[in-house]
Chains A and B, each alone.
Chain A
């Protein structure tokens, strides 16, 4: 429920991050919010499959996630922006090491 959205978002971020820090921050924020959206949707879906009795709980669970989504998006946008400025290597795909500096 939490792991799958993270994988999806990681893939999404790598696909669309571009190279400019501002674009990376924007995509990072979208992806951060998107992860929470997906998690909320999966939770609601699981609740709805429980039967008609759970519709109310599912709706409230979705609504309760809205502030979390907003905060999540803002914080991840700023965090990714910070990382893009301070240590861009962390945002590279699968931590590929910079050329000419082999490990071990």
Chain B
């Protein structure tokens, strides 16, 4: 078997660092516990805050424009969408850890300039934390070994090897994901959603898709309230979630009832829209004007992105 020899050689090549088993526990469980505690705390804080203030319904379009609060609010929507999307793809092309962290720094700077709300940014980050943690936890242990890797072996358990290359790879992916997620808040929250969608449709996205997003976003909130009302009613009648068949049956009926109610509401809303002269499109929300400043801003930002990529490849 000619394959056998190089395979064994390859296994022998990586630099091995022996460590006692208890350090594995410290190295893996401590960050995990800290992360878990942090996430739980943040969830609790956000839930408490939104319960106190009875969070404003963001889906209702704001009639008085909030324009002019920051350069991002004044930036032309089309420019903003194209620039941030292209820049995001540039970030995904980064391969080294240092530029990825620089990208996070730049994203934080953007957040400060755009005066984004910290709570909403944190909520977006919480949404991706699970997926990212999976990468960070799994990849160091599953990445195949190459020559020149540094591998930490714990207490003689040879099948359990912590590859530093895998860890850095996962960390780079995580950093890039965080950098892009941080940008979504300035992209989506610095203009009312209808205006953003108008910009998208001007960029060539089908009108129908934009309307679907707009209506879904609006009625997602309405149906969430409906669901909350229904679940309160169920709790009042003594329903508690347990892990048994009856719970699944009840939840299925709950979902089905939600479908029925939503569908009936949709029909009523559609009839009402037609009664008020809806003919397949909404009136434009704002007049989009492309100023030279917008283009200059877009150009500058993309240059920064290219510079980041060049820095990445030079390392």
Contacts and interface: CB of A to CB of B under 8 A. Distances in A.
Interface of A: 52-57, 59-61, 64, 71, 74-83, 86-87, 90, 103-104
Interface residues of B, number: 23
A53 B252 contact: no
B310 to A, nearest CB: 23
Nearest to B166: A53
B144 A53 contact: yes
A79 B263 contact: no
B249 A53 contact: no
B96 to A, nearest CB: 15
B247 to A, nearest CB: 10
What 5 A-B pairs are tightest by C-beta distance, nearest first? A56-B142, A78-B252, A82-B256, A79-B252, A79-B255
Interface of B: 134-135, 138-139, 141-144, 166, 169, 248-249, 251-253, 255-257, 259-260, 263, 271, 274
B141 A56 contact: yes
A56 B256 contact: no
B142 A55 contact: yes
12 contacts: A53-B169, A56-B139, A75-B252, A78-B253, A79-B253, A81-B252, A82-B253, A82-B256, A83-B256, A83-B260, A87-B263, A90-B260
A104 B273 CA distance: 11
A80 to B, nearest CB: 8
A75 B138 contact: no
A87 B144 CA distance: 53
Given A82-B253, A104-B271, A57 B259 contact: no
Nearest to B252: A78
Contact of B143 (A53, A78, A81): A53
B143 A74 contact: no
A53 B172 CA distance: 13
B169 A75 contact: no
Given A79-B255, A83-B256, A90-B263, A57 B248 contact: no
Contact of A53 (B139, B248, B253): B139
A37 B144 CA distance: 27
B138 A57 contact: yes
A75 B143 contact: no
Nearest to A54: B139
B97 to A, nearest CB: 15
Contacts of B256: 78-80, 82-83, 86
B130 to A, nearest CB: 10
B134 A60 contact: yes
Contacts of B274: 104
A51 to B, nearest CB: 10
B139 A57 contact: yes
Contacts of A71: 248
A74 B134 contact: no
A76 B256 CA distance: 9
A75 B138 CA distance: 30
